Amino acid sequence: MAGGRRQAPPREDVLAVAMEMIAERGLEKLTMAALGREVGMSSGHLLYYFGSKDELLLRTLEWSEGRLGAERGRLLTRAAPARERLDAYVDLYVPDGHRDPHWTLWLEVWNRSQNADEAARDRQAAIEGVWHRDLVALLAEGISRGEFRPVDPDRFAARLRSLLDGFAIHVAIGLRGTDRSQVLQHVREFLEDSLLADT
């Protein structure tokens, strides 16, 4: 019908466009007005959809993590030695490079979480928790098969993820002297020294 209201795009489509904008233009260019222009909605309608930019960013992160989670699940359940799957986990965790859009989004959500309500913080913790549980399960499997030393899987996972987070931040912000290949080498050496079973 001429002059009729345009149908709003599905929420998932809006989140996908938000992620594309972060990848192509950087987080600073992701405003409600700019996103609205891309998806054919007013900034007011987007605010009605999401409530705030903080909620938009967290929803976009959850959407992106859902896709990463599917990829992580595929990598971790394939028939391969635990060490090979651990390398795949690390490879998926570490940013592709400076301004990696997923990590750029993570850093912004972490920064905004200082003032977030408990519900938003719980949602962030849930995202972190899935990565942690998958790693604990993989470590426990590798230990049971004799591929890894008999470490405490939960404690080792917490330490390894802290190491990965620290290195990942360096890569994502483009800290000189810390590129992806160097980080992956550091992590490989750490795992060889602290986790791999003596042969």
Residue-level pLDDT at 49: 84
Asked if pLDDT for residue 50 goes beyond 70, the answer is: yes
When pLDDT is cut at 50, 70 and 90, the band that residue 4 belongs to is: very low
Q: How many CB atoms lie within 10 A of CB 176?
A: 6
Q: How many CB atoms lie within 10 A of CB 66?
A: 13
- For the record, the structure tokens of 92 come out as 């998926």
Kindly report, residue by residue over 68-93, the tens digit of the pLDDT: 999 999 999 999 999 999 999 999 99
Residue-level pLDDT at 32: 87
Sign of the four-CA dihedral 114, 117, 118, 120:
negative
Average pLDDT of the residues of the chain? 90
> Nearest-5° angle of CA 32, CA 34, CA 35?
65
Stretch 1-19: mean pLDDT, rounded?
69
CA distances from 121 to 55, 68, 102, 107, 115 (A): 11, 20, 18, 14, 9
CA distances from 154 to 17, 194, 196 (A): 36, 15, 16
Kindly report, residue by residue over 174-184, the tens digit of the pLDDT: 998 889 999 99
